[in-house]
Amino acid sequence: MATNQTQDLITSDSLDDSIVTQIERGCTCFGMFTNTCLLPIIIFRSPQDIGVYKFLMMYIAVFELFFGWLELMTVPEMFTEGSAFIVTIDPDKAVLPDGFLQISILIYCGSFATSLAIFGVQFAYRYEVLRGNTPRTSYSFFNFVFWGGIPLIVALLWTLSCWVFLGRNEYVDMVMRQDSFPSNLGNKTIGFVGIYFYPRLLDGSTVINWDSFIGMALCTCILFGSETLMLYFAFKSYLITKTLMTSTCSTSFRRLQWQLFYALISQTIIPILFMQIPLSILYVTLFLNISIPLIGKLQAFTISLYLTTDALPTMLIIRPYRETILVGRSSRIFIVSNSPQDVLGNLGVYVGTQVKTGATLALPGPTGSLTPLIPSEDNSTLLIVQNGSKNCTGYLYITEDTTTNVFPLSNNRQEYNFQPGTNLYFSLDYKNDSIDYPCAQNVCIGDNVSFRGYVGLPEENGRLFFDSGNLPTTINFNFLWKFSISKPMEMT
């Protein structure tokens, strides 16, 4: 009876571990998806004021894609009990060949260290930008190597520490032979990194495993060193960013710097919450010889949560990234602007593989209405990229109504051919609050054709100045009039 209860307990634990593993993989896949979406947004949607900093953000996105891929390929398992902490890669669960498992787990540990160091580097770079240290922040090969190389050096030191001091030995083998160890690895070729501070020998005595202490001391120095530098440069960056509020810099530049600062703060809280705090708890419990298996499982799970959430602050806080839009084949995309042609020519509109310029889309056709950009595929990403030093002023209007006609109202044009369907009018005379002239001529409205005229956006309480649905029968008009305009928005 006791044997059956034990077997049922083992089966239940295995089932729970399998469910948790699937959740971890799902979280990792979602994180890779968000970084895959973020990468082209950083490339194409970064404001000009962001400068070389966008390459650091691309660096992080690529790193997290690699870290997520490595976790999916290796499926590392973590076990803690007493003063023992063991990370293994089971060849039956990993996708990589057996000969690559040991180097893979060392790279995995190095990637963990990179995630701790990379945000300290970001804060240090932001601080140098804000204080105007151009030689250290300018676009140059040396700066790419310098800033990108620091996390890799930290990863190398962490990896060497694990390789030299935390390899497999007789002490950790004793832990792996215990009944409480979850995996039966036997004589398999596995990936392994392990710590056992106070091994208990067969005669009941306890010894100190100095290799584990030395290895963990080096890793602890890296952990708290990265935290200290991160907090130092975060505070210094905050002080300088705060002074920008009273500076002569442009409003858009100051707003962008605050968005970058808040995004970086949020993005830094995530590894602190999901990686550094759990790792610190793990270290303390190991040192006190009171760790339990739940702590190891928690550390493995929180790494997946880190990969899931870390890209989200950048996407949600920085405005040009947040306003990236998904469109489909039913979408109609209009650019309404009277900005100079050279400025409109620098406005890029990207939908999947389709590329248009503002100069093309903002040019009225023979009827006075604009020709929309119609996506060729569903779930395409719309990117609006303003190149050059001048921003366009006007409207970006997207609708799912395939019968919508958009007219840019200008004092240079007095006649507009009213079209079937919904007709939207956008004033390009920014200095006046009202405009009064014929906007349609020789209009015939019957039972099979309807017309609606708006000033502004119908979705945002635009003014409806004509609706043929209220007319009882066929009527002929010589012209229609409109009396008020909608204020433009700035496309930045």
CATH code, 295:
1.20.1070.10
Residues 316 and 330 in one domain: no
Residues 258 and 290 in one domain: yes
Domain boundary among 268, 298, 322: 322
- Is 4 domain-assigned? no
Distance CA 349, CA 372 (A): 12
**Residue 282, token pair as written in the block:** 């793990």
- Is 445 domain-assigned? yes
* Structural domain count, the chain: 2
Q: Give the model's confidence band at 410: pLDDT under 50 very low, under 70 low, under 90 confident, else very high.
A: low
* Range list of H helices, 166-209: 170-176
Q: How crowded is the C-beta side of 467, counted as CA atoms within 13 Å?
A: 6
- E-strand ranges in 339-437 read 347-351, 354-357, 380-386, 392-399, 404-409, 421-427
Cβ–Cβ under 8 Å, residues 279 and 223: yes
Q: Give the model's confidence band at 482: pLDDT under 50 very low, under 70 low, under 90 confident, else very high.
A: very low
Distance CA 439, CA 424 (A): 11
pTM equals 0.66
Distance CA 490, CA 488 (A): 7
Helix (H) or strand (E) holding 489: strand 489-491
pLDDT tens figures, 88-136: 888 888 888 888 899 999 999 999 888 878 878 888 887 888 787 888 8
Residues 317 and 332 in one domain: no
Cβ–Cβ under 8 Å, residues 195 and 220: no
Residues 396 and 408 in one domain: yes
Q: Which residues pair with 489 in a beta bridge?
A: 394
Distance CA 347, CA 429 (A): 21
Q: Give the model's confidence band at 435: pLDDT under 50 very low, under 70 low, under 90 confident, else very high.
A: very low
In this structure, the number of other CB atoms found within 10 A of the CB of residue 252 comes to 15
Residue ranges making up the domain that contains 376: 325-491
Cβ–Cβ under 8 Å, residues 215 and 195: yes
Q: Give the model's confidence band at 48: pLDDT under 50 very low, under 70 low, under 90 confident, else very high.
A: low
End-to-end CA distance of the chain: 72
What is the percent of the chain where pLDDT is above 90?
10
Distance CA 163, CA 217 (A): 14
Residues 384 and 301 in one domain: no
Choose among 66, 400, 245: nearest CA to 58.
66
Distance CA 361, CA 335 (A): 6
Cβ–Cβ under 8 Å, residues 77 and 304: no
Choose among 161, 261, 178: nearest CA to 217.
161
**Residue located via tokens 């007789």:** 170
Domain boundary among 273, 301, 322: 322
- Is 120 domain-assigned? yes
Q: Is the pLDDT of residue 8 over 70?
A: no
pLDDT tens figures, 330-341: 888 888 888 888
- Distances from the Cα of 442 to the Cα of 45, 328, 400, angstroms: 44, 35, 28
**Residue 361, token pair as written in the block:** 């889309």
Q: How far is CA 349 from the centre of its chain?
A: 21
Domain boundary among 305, 322, 339: 322
pLDDT tens figures, 234-285: 888 778 777 766 655 555 566 666 777 777 777 678 888 888 888 889 989 9
* DSSP 3-state of 114: helix
